[in-house]
Amino acid sequence: MSTHVATDSLVEDLASRLDAAAMTRTACAQLSQSHKISLDTAYAVQRAVAGRRLARCEHPLGIKLGFTSRTKAAQMGVSEVIIGRLTSGMLVADGGEINLGDYIHPRAEPELAFRLSRDLAPGEWNGQATDIVDAVAPAMEIIDSRFRDFRFDLADVVADNTSASGAVIGAWRPIGEGLDNRGVLFETDGRIVGAGSTAAILGDPLRAVTAAVRMAARYQITLSAGTVLLAGAATPAVALRAGTAVSTSVSGLGRVRFTVAGSDSLAGANDE
């Protein structure tokens, strides 16, 4: 992978492809099939993709980390986490409903969310995670790759805003002790589809806070008080089906849930 950043026009062209795929709910070809792009270019495309959402009157909601589990990082052959941008249109109310028709081939994964307690200038802070977050919540991320068959390489998925598509955040609680090994139960319609531990998130989800601050500084993402951070998945993601009730409970932190409306007849039909 080369290291230079592509021209502005190429960045805008690639961002347009990804934005159109999301807006029309039609998967597109991997960018890597037609272009050799560096990681810096991929992050520039991601910024442009998020910029299109902001231009449609969304506002920044937060950030997310991907590849925080050893298994997923190994599958991708990467040793560093990736960062993506959450915008207000991605927020799904706890207990709310999503419609399958608003997505291409969505999956959900159980996570923890943190809330930043103060503004952070890039490079300003290098201390304890607990000094800059004031709350934690059980959460789920909805990921929906804009690429056909959910297939991508590292630069593809970074450009595609790390597949970020939805965030469901449960009730916020003060940061307590022992977040490094809380039991996580991920259920659809009352059946367990994933069981794990918060330890799957970088060994301790508080490490996601420090990693996210470092990555945000590197890729010029503004961090302000109230910014939400999705720390990473505690179990593998599951594909969403119409009529399903999805929930995640995290020991000592409570439960977060949403339901899926729409029709399965379209499932996969958007992978054209």
Q: Which is nearer to ligand 0L1, 163 or 188 (CB)?
A: 163
140 binds ligand 0L1 (CB under 6 A): no
CA-to-CA distance for 72 and 75, rounded, in angstroms? Answer: 5
Number of H-type helices and E-type strands within the chain: 5, 13
Residue 197 main-chain phi, psi, to 5 deg: -140, 150
x/- letters, 23..62, toward ligand 0L1 (CB under 6 A): ----------------------------------------
Give which of 64, 154, 140 is closest to 109, Cα–Cα. 140
Comparing CB distances to Mg ion, the nearer of 132 and 229 is 229
Assess 202 for contact with ligand 0L1 (CB under 6 A): no
- What residues form DSSP beta bridges with 137? 113
Out of 94, 141, 156, 187, the only residue in the binding site for ligand 0L1 (CB under 6 A) is: 141
Q: How far is the CB of 233 from Mg ion (least distance, A)?
A: 5
206 binds, among Mg ion, ligand 0L1, none (CB under 5 to 8 A by kind): none
Does 157 sit near ligand 0L1 (CB under 6 A)? yes
Residue nearest to Mg ion (CB): 141
CB of 64 to Mg ion, least distance (A): 6
Contacts with 178 (C-beta within 8 Å, 6 or more apart), sequence order: 252
Neighbours of 33 (CB within 10 A): 11
Among 71, 74, 68, 76, CA closest to 39: 76
Beta bridge partners of 108: 142, 238
Sole binder of ligand 0L1 in the list 50, 120, 143, 211 (CB under 6 A) = 143
Smallest gap from Cβ 229 to Mg ion, in A, equals 11
**What are 189's two structure tokens?**
């319609």
**If contact means CB under 5 to 8 A according to the sort of partner, which of ligand 0L1, Mg ion, none does residue 157 touch?**
ligand 0L1
**At a CB cut-off of 8 Å and minimum separation 6, what does 161 contact?**
18, 46, 49, 50, 84, 85
* Contacting residues toward ligand 0L1, per CB under 6 A: 64, 66-67, 141, 143, 145, 157, 162-163, 233
